[in-house]
């Protein structure tokens, strides 16, 4: 890992890009505080994939909690009716999450 000031990053940009292609990460600081990171495009893609997976996992957890809440609030329904209602609400929630760009489902 390489740590440089923003001034050094500007002056050494080509060298730092080369370091990222060799597997190093570059942390850029301003006034001694980290403000940016340079990493290879491959590492960035891996980060994006992890971030997207986390968003999907979080959305799924919220949907499961919502389904449980629907079941608890509708105890007068049969289990099949509870599941159908929960599925309808979850489907609407997924459509909303996708529409707002909070989750993305890519075809394999």
Alpha carbons 90 and 68: distance in angstroms, whole number = 11
Pairing assessment for the beta strands 26-30 and 33-38 based on DSSP bridges:
antiparallel
What are the pLDDT digits (tens) for 51-85? 988 988 888 888 888 878 877 887 888 888 888 88
| pLDDT score, position 3 | 96
What pLDDT score does 2 carry? 94
The whole-angstrom distance between residue 17's C-alpha and the CA centroid of its chain comes to: 25
User: What is the spatial distance between Cα 8 and Cα 15, in angstroms, rounded to a whole number?
Assistant: 11
% of the chain at pLDDT higher than 70: 95
Average pLDDT, the chain: 87
Instruction: Measure the CA–CA gap between 4 and 16, rounded to whole angstroms.
Output: 9
Q: What is the pLDDT of residue 105?
A: 66
């Amino acid at each position: 890992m390489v740590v440089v000031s923003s001034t050094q990053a500007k002056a050494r940009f080509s060298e730092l890009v080369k370091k990222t292609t060799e597997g190093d990460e570059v942390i850029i600081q301003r006034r001694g505080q980290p403000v940016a990171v340079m990493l290879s495009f491959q590492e960035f893609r891996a980060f994006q994939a992890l971030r997207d997976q986390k968003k999907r996992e979080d959305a799924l957890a919220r949907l499961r909690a919502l389904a449980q809440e629907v079941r608890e609030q509708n105890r007068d329904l049969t289990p099949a009716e509870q599941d159908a209602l929960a599925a309808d609400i979850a489907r609407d929630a997924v459509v909303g999450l996708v529409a707002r760009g909070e989750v993305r489902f890519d075809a394999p």
